[in-house]
Amino acid sequence: MFDVKNVLSKFRSNQLKGGSIVITGAAQGFGRAIAEKFAQAGWSVGAYDVDVARLSDWAESAANVTWGELDVRDADAWQRTLEEFAESHGGAINVVVNNAGVLYSGDFVEKGSFDADARLVDINVKGVLFGARAAFPYLKKAASRQGGNGVRGAHLVNLCSASAIYGTPDMATYSATKFAVRGISEALEVEWDGHGVQVSDIIPLYVKTGMLENEHTVGMDRLGVQKTPEDVADVVFKVVTRGRGVPAKVHNPVGAQPGFLLNASFMSPAFLTRFVNGKLVYEKKVRF
C-alpha cells in the first residue's frame, strides 16, 4: 500500500539548515570554497588539509571555523580528527565532505608511473573510504539525535568527477579513482539509508582550480574550463540543504555539460557513449 506519510517524511529528511560540517582538502579550491560557503551560512565548520600553512592563511581569521592538519591516507588521523571535532560539537557531526584529491593528466604510459598511480589511489580512493568509515558513527548519531544543542540529520558528500561517466583518455588513473568514488557513493547510499544517513556525490567537469594549473588535455580545450570552485560549493550547499527527496538523488552534476553527459550515458548504448567521449576528450581518431 502506498504510504503518503512515509513518502513525505523522505522528502523532508536531512533538510539541513545548519549544524556541523567537516571538509577535507580545505586549503584551497573546492574545499576552501565549500568551507567558506557553510561558514558564512552560520555552520560550525571543520576545515582540514595536509597544507596547514595555506589553510591557516584564510581559516585562522574565519568565523565558525576549526582547522587543522589531516592526511586522508592516514586512518588513525581520520579517527583522531573526527573524534576531536565531534567532542566539541555534541558528539556528532552532521556532514562530512570527502573533497581531498589529486590528479595527473596525459598518456597513461608516457606521463604516468607506478608512484603516481599509487598516490592517486591512496588519496582519491583510500581517502574517501577511510573518511566514510571514520565518519559513520558520528553521522549515525547526528541522524538519530533530537533536542539539546544538536541538529538532527546527517549527510556524507563525496567529490566525484565527470570522468566517472565514461573512462577518460589522458586521465585514465584519475578517471578510475573517480569511478571508485561513484561506486562507493552508490553503495553507501543504499546501505546507510536505513540509518538515516544520506550519501551523495558531486560531479563537476573542468573547474578553475590550482589542481589544473599545470595540466592540459584535449578535453579542457574542447569543453572549456568554465566553472569555479564557488559553483561547486553552491551545488554542495544545495544538495545538503534540500534533503533526500523521493526518489533519492545520488549523483549531482555541476552545470549543464556534465548533467547532459551523465543523463545521456544512462540512455545511449555503450559503443555510442564511447565514441562521443573519445571525440570530446581525445585528439586521435576514435573508431566505432
Q: What's the chain look like in SS3?
A: CCCHHHHHHHHHCCCCCCCEEEEECCCCHHHHHHHHHHHHCCCEEEEEECCHHHHHHHHCCCCCEEEEECCCCCHHHHHHHHHHHHHCCCCCCCEEEECCCCCCCCCHHHHCCHHHHHHHHHHHHHHHHHHHHHHHHHHHHHHHCCCCCCCCCEEEEEECCHHHCCCCCCCHHHHHHHHHHHHHHHHHHHHCHHHCEEEEEEECCCECCHHHCCCCCHHHHHHCCCECHHHHHHHHHHHHHHCCCCCCCCEEECCHHHHHHHHHHHHCCHHHHHHHHHHHHCCCCCCC
| Predicted local distance difference test score (pLDDT) of residue 218 | 78
pLDDT digits (tens, 9 = 90+) for 16-68: 999 999 999 999 999 999 999 999 999 999 999 999 999 999 999 999 999 99
**Residue-level pLDDT at 4:** 57
Q: Which residues of the chain have pLDDT under 70?
A: 1-12, 146-149, 283-288
Q: pLDDT at position 212, please?
A: 82
The pLDDT, as a whole number, for residue 146 is 54
What pLDDT, on a 0 to 100 scale, did the predictor assign at position 147?
Answer: 42
**pLDDT of the residue at 259:** 92
pLDDT at position 113, please?
98
Indicate the domain borders of the chain. 4-256
What pLDDT is stored for residue 225 in this prediction? 86
Three cell numbers written together for 216? 592540459
Domain 4-256 has CATH 3.30.70.580: no
Burial class (CB in 10 A: 0-12, 13-18, 19+), 236: buried
